[in-house]
Each structure stands twice: as structure tokens, then as C-alpha cells.
Amino acid sequence: MDTAFVLAASITDLGAARAARPHADIVEYRLDRSADGVDALRSYEGVLPVLATNRVEREGGKAAATPARLDTLETAVEQPAVAAVDVELSAIRNGRAGRVVDRARAHDVAVVVSVHDFEATPDRKRLRRLLRAADEHGDIAKLAVTAERPGDVLDLLAVTHELSTAGVPLATVAMGEVGRHSRAVTPLYGSRLGYAPVDPADATAPGQYDLETLRTLLDQLRGTPPDRPLRSTK
């Protein structure tokens, strides 16, 4: 996995990739929120590579936890435009999503293993444990938590810095208004992947900046990252 920070534009219509291009490095195609499904990937001719996500309901998405959801992801990783796929750690642990990871490996598609907590921010010990567990299965470990107080953000930043320095490729964010600034700040501590909607009305998680705003903040804090797709290294 490349060490450069990658900014993903979260979209439900691949036609929006053109508008995302000036600011994004990759587009996160939310299959769980799209009416076009995998068919749109087959005909996609955009410049930006695609991160395919079919988020389950209990982790903030709209897809039911059925075998069909994972079938969709398996088909998605076979499409040439797809550079990365998101698979929840919970789905891997219950034994259902291993086939998606295997298919991704076979097609040189990077695997983002994600965990979402919409209730709170766990203590540092659990933050470490979740990120290391996700890292065991994927190319990048993603952890999104909900900040209820400023100290929650500090805990997340500390663990992000600690594990990234130790060589764990990760992406972290504190959701909600209290943690909103973390979307621009966590990259300074080693987070490699961020998300933003092109239009703020299309936010897919609490506290998201719109794409142009987040890119501006990131550029001001650390300079413009290179335009590179995510690729599997495991």
C-alpha cells in the first residue's frame, strides 16, 4: 500500500466522478445507496479509480446483511475500474466476507477493512485492538468512531500516530461535530484515506466536509497529495 494520503469522493452515481476529479484521488462508489449497481461499473469510463463499498445497515449503510450484498462486492472487484473494495471487519469475522477478500486478491484490488462505531469512541486499548484486527485481513485498516468530547479525538489521534509509526496502514476519523476537524487532521498523524461528498447534502457520515472544502484544508495543512490509486500489496 502506498504511503501517500488518498482522498475519496463518496458518490452514489458514477456520473458524479467528473465533478470530483479536480479534488479527489479516487471515488468511493456507494453501491448500497446507488440505483445503478454494478452495471454502472461495467460502463464506467472515468479517470478516477473506484473504491467499491456496499455498506451494511448496522454500520451506517443501506444494504441488508445478506449473501447477495457480498455477491455484489465480488462482482465489483472483477471490474477493471475498481482499485479497492471495502469489507467490514464484522463480516470477515462471521466468516461470510472471506470470499470477497480472496476475490479482491486475485484481481489485485486493495482491501479496506472497516469498523464503524456510531455510539462512542472506545478507549485506547480497544482502538488499538480494532485497528490491528482489521490490519490482519486487509491492506488498510479503517476505523470511524463517534467523538462525544475533545478527549475522544485526542485518543484517536494518539493511537493513529502510534500504529502508523509502527507500520500499520490505516484510516481513522472521529465522526460528529466534535470530531469534524479530525477529517483534516488525522492525515498529519498517519491516516492514509479520507472521505467527503461532492455535495454536502449527500453526506454519508456525521460531520463530513464537502469535497472541495476538505481538499482545501488538507492542502493547507500538508500540501497536495499525489494522484494515485489504492493497490493491494498483500
Active site residues: 116, 142
- 165 contacts: CB under 8 Å, gap ≥ 6: 190
DSSP state of 232: -
Q: Is the dihedral of CA 65, 176, 223, 9 positive or negative?
A: positive
Residue with C-alpha cell 482502538? 127
- 97 contacts: CB under 8 Å, gap ≥ 6: 70, 73, 87, 88, 91
Contact status, residue 181 vs residue 208, Cβ threshold 8 Å: no
β-pair type (140-146, 170-175): parallel
Contact status, residue 26 vs residue 50, Cβ threshold 8 Å: yes
